[in-house]
């Protein structure tokens, strides 16, 4: 069966001519039937809540900031990326593993479970094939929901800067834990602080 290429934008922007602090709808329904969630940094959605609510094919956008979380992902075909600024760059997002509290025992900043086939973290793939058979090119409007009406979309691989930095901050912990190497991480940095812990496992 020949897949159809749907020349549609993966991301939808509100039609306001003025910048705004939050999207009119969150999640936003995309033209291809998927949804985009904006989360973190005082948004409506906590990052883990957005991950848990999302369905295969959806996109989760994390606003810039430093996050101390122990995130768990077990959904296939997700895209998780930073927000794209009006200047066409990725917002800076640092994800740190917790060193105190109940999540400290998890030992990771982000965990990729068994059911994360075709899930992309960081730079989105150039094209996405949905379960319906549609192949959608990945384009993003700079500024996203803050963009003025008529702002042209750009291809994801032209966005400048680095997507995510994953930090491991303590002995025996790791920034990223992936079961059987599931998921794809692109344009991300994995690092340990002061030589302790590991970046990815």
pLDDT in tens, the chain (201 residues): 444 333 333 433 333 334 467 898 999 999 888 999 999 998 999 999 999 999 999 999 999 999 988 899 999 999 999 999 999 999 999 988 765 555 555 567 788 889 999 999 999 998 877 667 788 789 999 999 999 999 999 999 999 999 999 877 655 556 677 777 678 899 998 876 554 444 444
pLDDT at 198: 47
pLDDT at 148: 94
pLDDT at 11: 39
d(CA 151, CA 63): 20
pLDDT at 127: 85
Closest CA to 123 of 59, 54, 41: 59
- Assess contact for 55 and 79: CB atoms under 8 A: no
User: Model pTM?
Assistant: 0.81
- Assess contact for 82 and 62: CB atoms under 8 A: yes
pLDDT at 61: 98
Distances (CA, A) of 7 to 36, 105, 137, 145, 155: 18, 45, 7, 21, 13
pLDDT at 110: 84
- Assess contact for 32 and 55: CB atoms under 8 A: no
d(CA 190, CA 199): 5
Q: Per the structure block, which two tokens stand in for 138?
A: 């990945």
d(CA 151, CA 23): 16
pLDDT at 102: 53
Tell how far CA 140 is from the center of its chain: 13
d(CA 157, CA 72): 26
Tell how far CA 129 is from the center of its chain: 17
């Amino acid at each position: 069966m020949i897949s159809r290429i749907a020349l549609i934008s993966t991301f939808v922007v509100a039609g306001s001519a003025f910048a705004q602090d939050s999207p009119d709808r969150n999640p936003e329904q995309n033209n291809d039937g998927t949804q985009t969630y904006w989360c973190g940094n005082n948004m409506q959605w906590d990052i883990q809540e957005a991950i848990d609510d999302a369905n295969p094919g959806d996109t989760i956008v994390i606003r810039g900031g430093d996050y101390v979380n122990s995130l768990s992902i077990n959904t296939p075909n997700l895209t998780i990326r930073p927000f794209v600024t009006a200047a066409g760059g990725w917002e800076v997002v640092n994800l740190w593993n917790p060193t105190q509290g109940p999540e400290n025992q998890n030992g990771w900043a982000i965990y990729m479970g068994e059911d994360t086939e075709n899930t992309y973290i960081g730079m989105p793939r150039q094209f996405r094939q949905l379960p319906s058979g549609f192949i959608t090119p990945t384009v993003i409007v700079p500024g996203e929901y803050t963009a003025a009406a008529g702002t042209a979309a750009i291809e994801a691989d032209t966005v400048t800067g680095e997507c995510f930095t994953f930090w491991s901050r303590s002995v025996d912990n790791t920034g990223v834990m992936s079961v059987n190497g599931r998921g794809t991480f692109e344009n991300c940095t994995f690092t340990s602080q002061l030589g302790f812990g590991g970046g990815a496992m």
